[in-house]
Chains A and B, each alone.
Chain A
Amino acid sequence: MAQYVIIGNGVAAIGCIEGIRKTDTQNTIIVISEEPHPVYCRPLISYYLEGKTDLERMAYRSKDYYKEMNCEVIYGKKAVHIDASAKQVVLDDDTVISYDKLCLATGSYSFVPPMKGLDTVEHKYSFMTLDDTLALESAITKDSKILIVGAGLIGLKCAEGLKDRVAGITVCDLANRVLSSILDFDCAAMVQRHLEENGISFLLEDSVASFDKNTAYMKSGKTVDFDVLVLAVGVRANTALLSETGGEVNRGILINTKMETSVSDIYAAGDCTEGEDISCNDKRVLALLPNAYMQGNCAGINMAGGSCVFGKAIPMNSIGFFGLHIMTAGSYYPSDEGGELYEEQSQGVLKRFFTRNGYLTGFILIGDTSRAGIYTSLIRERIPLDSIDFETLKKTATSTVFSSEKRKHFFGGVV
């Protein structure tokens, strides 16, 4: 009788459960959930603040899900040690759980660099979990002035979520642009303008030199008075459990395309991992929900003795702010690395396509995101651009650019 253990209870864990249950409906699955909640849609925490969803709708699966999946969930306990030779996981209350196959779906944590005087700030919050969100919500009033450190995806979605519930929001970042991990300078400027038009203030290329209670003294010499501080500097993968057993980690837990770690019978999936990114043929931490599910699902299938390879991971984001939609995917190579850039611009729309060696490697779409999945598929499926009508595709996403055989398969076949 095999026993599966999953550390973590986010979307990667759910992918894993559903992967295991494709073939194995019998053997026990134990899920160790540090958070005291059934799985919820973590990316919806900003939509919750904004009032576009609620706690009930944020449930990622139905109420009876774990029962239906024949899973035992241990809530509120943290896995603190893995003994890979004895194949055991030790929890923070000294409980020992044996596994035959283990999946690490431990996610990531909010990284807070040392900042002078941070301990004098009474109301400071991360914005990663549901509990962070509820704590932040209880700290704000309509008169609150908010300072958000970090103009990345987390910081800016937090700003959008809080906007209509507080008096003012300032976002600072050391980078020279917003969303620096997914947007180039021009695209970031367009998004920043839109955010400013919607009432968000920015201090870019600036960082906090020190805090004194409700005041931030910036390196630039400016001061920012605030009531509530949100720390969204960055995230780091939770890798310690595996590295302490001697498993290979870099910025994330290293995995192959079967989601195996370097330690036998231990798999990993989701934000805690670093795997192949086919848009750059290199290993990257791809902390985003679709990859978490697909990696978890692949791990689960393999843990149950099936055969699955997930070799199509790329970075991709669909994100909107105050009605402006932005989609990005893949890698953007500069010209000195052989990259080429094609741009389409019209009123309220900026589309950039990054190609290299005859392949689409990445794109940024702002304002017009219709049928963007067609572009994404060019990256994921490594479709040579000389096999399609890329000129048309730059103007509009359409499957007319493919061969008639391919369209016959798409729209006349079972896919």
Chain B
Amino acid sequence: MKRIYVNEEWCLGCHLCEYNCAFANSGKKDMITALKGKPIYPRIHIEENDKICYAVSCRHCMDPICIKSCIAGAISKTDGVVHIDQYKCVGCLTCVLVCPYGALAPNENGIMQKCELCLENTCGEPACVKGCPNNAIVYEERSE
């Protein structure tokens, strides 16, 4: 399946992926109304130090420990995509405690969210990839 991959040598640390992600998942038609003057809760984030930077989002693992650990039975996998049922999630953060990649964070209401590859939102393809100015984030098949 196609997944999101990053190339840390090419990442500029511009954080555009975070804004594009937050906008794509906002349900709003206009980026300014969606994001201007508000704290954003993107499903991808940049990690950086003085030498490197790169984007982190859900790896859609082969054997996801978050699914096994969810105390609400709210995380499932269909066709390789790991999905959170936000209606079932109670915001206990157990998935945050077990994800070794640090790929999940709660939304503004304390309910969990994470990258679901923009398959369900209006973008239809990962907004972070589409908007990355240096192709540091790609969406493609890689061998398992």
The residue from A289, A410, A412, A415 contacting B69, defined by CB atoms under 8 A apart: A289
Closest chain-A Cβ to B79's Cβ sits at a distance in Å of 15
Residues of B within 8 A of A57 (CB): 72, 87-88
Say whether A320 contacts B91, CB under 8 Å: yes
Say whether A373 contacts B102, CB under 8 Å: yes
Report the nearest A residue to B51, measured CB to CB.
A400
Say whether A53 contacts B90, CB under 8 Å: yes
Say whether A411 contacts B69, CB under 8 Å: no
Closest chain-B Cβ to A195's Cβ sits at a distance in Å of 17
- Complex CA gap A47/B111 in Å reads 13
User: How many B residues have CB within 8 A of the partner chain?
Assistant: 41
Residues of A within 8 A of B98 (CB): 290, 316, 373, 376
Q: Does A371 contact B (CB under 8 A)?
A: yes
Say whether B49 contacts A400, CB under 8 Å: yes
Q: Does B129 contact A (CB under 8 A)?
A: no
Say whether A415 contacts B68, CB under 8 Å: no
Report the nearest B residue to A48, measured CB to CB.
B90
Say whether A412 contacts B102, CB under 8 Å: no
Q: Does A44 contact B (CB under 8 A)?
A: yes
Residues of B within 8 A of A290 (CB): 65, 68-69, 94, 98
Q: Taking A369-B93, A374-B102 as contacts, is the C-beta distance between A412 and B5 under 8 angstroms?
A: yes
Residues of A within 8 A of B5 (CB): 411-413
Report the stretch among A239-247, A253-261, A391-399 that lies at the interface.
A391-399
Q: Does B31 contact A (CB under 8 A)?
A: no
Chain A interface bracket (under 10, 10 to 19, 20 to 34, 35 or more): 35 or more
Residues of A within 8 A of B144 (CB): 414
Closest chain-B Cβ to A372's Cβ sits at a distance in Å of 5
- Complex CA gap A60/B91 in Å reads 16
Say whether B90 contacts A44, CB under 8 Å: yes
The residue from B59, B90, B94 contacting A52, defined by CB atoms under 8 A apart: B90
Which positions 367-415 of chain A face chain B at CB distance < 8 Å? 369-374, 376-377, 380-381, 392, 397-400, 404, 407-408, 410-415
Closest chain-B Cβ to A68's Cβ sits at a distance in Å of 13
**Known contacts A380-B100, A381-B100; 9 further A-B pairs (Cβ under 8 A):** A53-B72, A318-B96, A370-B96, A370-B105, A373-B97, A373-B99, A376-B100, A400-B52, A411-B6
Interface of A toward B, CB cutoff 8 Å: 15, 41, 43-44, 47, 52-53, 57-61, 289-290, 293-294, 297, 316-320, 323, 325, 327, 329, 369-374, 376-377, 380-381, 392, 397-400, 404, 407-408, 410-415
> Can you spell out 20 A-B residue pairs with CB atoms less than 8 angstroms apart?
A44-B90, A53-B72, A53-B90, A57-B87, A290-B68, A294-B68, A316-B97, A320-B92, A371-B96, A372-B96, A373-B101, A374-B100, A376-B97, A377-B100, A400-B48, A413-B5, A414-B62, A414-B143, A414-B144, A415-B61
Interface of B toward A, CB cutoff 8 Å: 3, 5-8, 47-49, 52, 54-56, 59, 61-62, 65, 68-69, 71-73, 87-88, 90-102, 105, 110, 142-144
